[in-house]
Each structure stands twice: as structure tokens, then as C-alpha cells.
Amino acid sequence: MTLQGTPVLILKEDTSRTTGRDATSSNIAAARVISEAIRSALGPKGRDKMLVDNFGDVVITNDGATILKEIDIAHPIGKMMVELSKIQDQEVGDGTTTVVILAGELLQQAAELITSDKIHPTILVEGFRVATEKAEEFLNEIATDVVADDQDLLVQLVNTTMGSKIVARSSDLLAKIVIDAVKSIDPGTGKIDIDDIKIEKKEGEDIESTILVKGIVLDKEVVHAGMPKSLENPKIALIAEAFEVSKTEFDSELSITDPSKIQEFLDREAGMIQKMVDKIVESGANVVIAQKGIDDIAQHLLAKQNIMAIRRVKKSDMEKLSKATGANIVSSIPDLSASDLGNSGKIYETKVGDDDMVFVEDCPLAKSVTILIRGGTELVVDEAERSIHDAICVIRNVLEDKKIVAGGGAPEAYVSRKLHKFSESLVGREQLAVQAFANALEVVPRTLAENAGLDPIDIIVALRSEHESGNTKAGVDVFQGKVRNMDNVIEPLRVKTHAITAASENAQMILRIDDIIASKASEGPGGPPGGPGGDMGGEDFD
């Protein structure tokens, strides 16, 4: 910049800067590229994406969050879109593709107003904010209350979620498994922690072999061949301490001059381990599940007492075991008592695929359960896991909120029509912003139609006509190729509300940016051009 004809350098010489309309256009273009990249994956007729990383690992999916997570995106606005999809997945589990498409279309509508009507981005931001508040209000108008005992409705919800996945043909079976799992961990307080559902995957057999275990499945094996491999009504001790003589925190040397002292030293170590085992026996436990290691001597002594032991179990699995069996996690073996033990109907080791696994089944509390997913290949199992995660979140949402809306783009079409009517009560350019928001919502039914090979113009015209006549559940039936009442395709209200709100907030944030200052990283000493000390591609906005 210059001051009274004198140049003043504020930024580094190699810093690039983009301001005003150029910055806005660049950001909108970046967001639109991300939106268009996953648009064809929306809906039951959506297409899958094959993602191959630098190591040759392949992911095949149509899950929006997974697609964006696997793409190496450099542009910061692109990264914002990835984060948008990630948050949608974390908060509500479904609608990860919808939220990105909506954000991209909102920005496209905004770009047209900025270019053609010379509307300032600040006015658009305010209009979008007003439209978002009204959209939430309109969504609640068409929401239907449900009861948790309506099994058929819950199965319909899962079928809608899985309709676009490769597991769609097995959705009825998986729906029952997911619903049973979520209900099992429901504490009845109105908040459900889905982390209490453990998901294990093993290649082999097919999706139909997926099962729900009312307990915990551990991808571990019994540590000693002499231990029992199956027990009925076991008494389970959960130990966070290692079954071995603790080592000093600093290096030390032990000098022994008398050979007889070596045996004495070993005997003392064995005696310390024997005391640990004696404490286990005294407590009445016949199963030990340890978070850390179990010494070879301890394994031998436990086997002599006919005690089953499993070691190196993850902390998260220990916590799930505690919830399932009622056992307390004991951090010091001398403190173990009978009151700390948990129980289950049975515990056994069995072979699943090529690996041995331990099943802790028929737990009386069952406040933590396991879904064991089977499938022909690793790719199928991974995609099944993503589908089941989405379904778990959807059931969680409905059991907590007890509200649903129709699918097939019906909510977006309804809110779009209502926003157009609402905009008539506004004056000034804010009216155009609300109308742009309303137009953007129609991208969902339009994309569903496009992905099904239907004429999007005919579908949108028919959809508007149905909603004008009062059919608020009219949506796009991609299988019959027409607009109809979507009573059998339902989604949680929370998914739609969060998708529209999050997409709007993201679009508003991008529109508020009017200055992009990109600094290139300085080269490290002796670093090769473009290497670790060279330019950072992630900062290149071009």
C-alpha cells in the first residue's frame, strides 16, 4: 500500500493477497467445487466414489463425510466444507451429503445476487440468518410425533437411511439389530450415549450373518492354553494394573556375587506374582480381563487355578465391559474384593473368520452391547460399518426427540414454498436474500431427480404443484420416477434441522470473508524445493 506517495510494506514480499469481490468469488468457487464433487452420491440412486490413497488403499462409499475425509483438500474453504460434513456426521449421523450440497447451492445463489443485482454480502448474510430461523419454524410445523414402541416406524427410518447404501438389501435385518442395540443402552433419561454400542468387524460370510451380542466381543484370545475356554455364569474381574513385577522408572544395575542369590531373586519375583494370583482367587473371580500385560508366570499360576485370562484390552473396551457386567475397574490388585466382580451368562472363546475372539454374553445389565459385522470383503464390511453408524444415530435421534418428517426432498420443498411466501412480507434487498435461500433448498429434490435419471424441471414443477395443493409430504420417489406422498420414507427432524442450519451458518461465514492473505512458508535450511521445508501447497489459493 502507499501513504502520500510513499510505499509502505506491511506483508512479507512473498505473501499473496486477494480482496473484495475477487476474494468472495474465489471462496464461493472453492465451496462449489466440493459440493459438486459429492452431489452425484445423494439419494438411493446416488453413485459411489472410489477413493485411492498414496498407499494404494481403496475406499468405496457414497457417504459424504467419508468421501470428503479421504480427499486431500488444500484450499482452506474446501477444508471448511469437509469440517461441515464431519460435524453433521458427529452431531446427527446422517445428512452428510445433503449439508454440503445445500451450503454449495446457498453460495451459488448468493454469487448470482452479488454479480447481477450488486447486493452486498452483508445483506445476504442477514437475509440467510432470518431465513434459517423461519426454516426451523416451518420444519416443526410438518414434524410428526412418534412413540418409541412403534417398531414398524423405526424399521422404516433405518430403511430410509440405508436405502442408498450397499447394505440396502439387508436393511430389514440390520434395522432390527440396530433398534434392539439402541434400546438396550437407553437409560431412560432422554439422552442416549451411542458410544456404549461397540462395533466389531470381521471379513467372511455375508452381511446377513451380522449379529447383536448383549454384551461385549473382544478381538482377543485366552492367554494360556491350559486355561478354560468357556465358562457359565463367570465372576469377572477387570484389572487396570499389569500382572507383573513393576519396573523402576530409572535404569539400574543389580550386582550378584553369590550364584545362590539368583534363585532367591527369582523366587521373590515369583512370590510377588503369586500374591497377585492369590488375591484373584480370594475374591472369587474365575475370569480376569486385564488392560495391561500378564506375566508368563502369572499366566501359569492362573491356569493352575482354572482361571480364564485375557490381556491388553483397550481402555474403552474395559469401560464397556464395566457397563455390561457391572464390574468395577480395579487399578490395584490388592484392593480387589468380591464386590468389584461382574457377571454374565457365559464367556467363551470362539473362532470368527481366521481369528479367535472372546464373547462376554447374556449380561444382566447389558447397558453396553456389541454389533459384530460380517461381510465378504474388507470394503463391504467397512461400508456396512458406516451404514450401521448412520442408522444408530438416526434411531438415537428419534428416541430422544420423538419427531420425524417425510423424506424424498419433501421437507425442503415445503420450507422453500413457505419461505417464498414469507419473503413477500419483507421489504428491500433482504427479500431477495430470503428468496435465494428458498431457491437453494430445492437443490435436494432436484439432485434426487437428476441422480435417478429423471427430468429435474418436470419433477420440481410437479413438486411445487403438490405442495401448493396442500400435500406437505409430497416428495420425489426415485424408484417410481414421480412425485408422490412419501409416507413410507421418513427421516428424523433433527437431521433436516441441523443440515439446513449448519449449511446456512457455513455459507454466511464464507460470505463474510472479504480478504485472503496467504503466506508461504519459509524454506528450511538445506530443504529441497517443495519438500518439508519448502512451499506448503495447502496455502496456495490459486
Q: Which residues are catalytic?
A: 63, 96-97, 390
- CA-based Rg of the chain, rounded to a whole angstrom? 30
User: Where are the alpha helices (H) located in 231-377, listed in sequence order?
Assistant: 259-283, 296-304, 315-325
Using DSSP bridges, classify how beta strands 2-3 and 6-7 pair: parallel, antiparallel or unpaired: antiparallel
- Using DSSP, how many helices (H) and how many strands (E) does the chain show? 16, 23
* C-alpha atoms less than 13 angstroms from C-alpha of 78 in its C-beta half-sphere: 22
Q: What is the DSSP string of 74-105?
A: -SHHHHHHHHHHHHHHHHTSS-HHHHHHHHHH
User: What does the alpha-carbon distance between residue 242 and residue 260 come to, in Å, rounded to a whole number?
Assistant: 28
Q: Which letter, b or e, does each residue of 150-184 get, where b requires 16 or more Cβ atoms within 10 Å of its Cβ? A: eeeebbbbbbbbbbbbbbeebbeebbebbbebbbb
Largest CA distance in the chain: 100
Cell numbers that stand for 106 in this block = 446457498
User: What does the alpha-carbon distance between residue 132 and residue 137 come to, in Å, rounded to a whole number?
Assistant: 9
Cell numbers that stand for 179 in this block = 433398534
Measure CA 100 to chain center: 16
List of residues 6+ apart from 251 with CB closer than 8 A: none
User: What does the alpha-carbon distance between residue 202 and residue 218 come to, in Å, rounded to a whole number?
Assistant: 12
List of residues 6+ apart from 522 with CB closer than 8 A: 533
Q: Tell me which residue has cell 420443498.
A: 413
Helix (H, G, I), strand (E, B) or coil at 258: coil
* 403-406: strand order across its sheet: 144-145, 403-406, 490-492
Answer whether 373's CB lies under 8 Å from 201's CB: yes
List of residues 6+ apart from 321 with CB closer than 8 A: 216, 236, 238, 289, 313, 327, 342, 360, 368
Answer whether 385's CB lies under 8 Å from 201's CB: yes
Dihedral sign of CA atoms 178, 183, 186, 190 in order: positive
Answer whether 32's CB lies under 8 Å from 107's CB: yes
| DSSP H or E stretch at residue 108 | helix 96-116
Which of 230, 405, 240, 389 is closest to 321 using CA atoms?
240
List of residues 6+ apart from 275 with CB closer than 8 A: none
Say how many Å lie between the first and final Cα of the chain, rounded.
22
DSSP letter at 111 equals: H
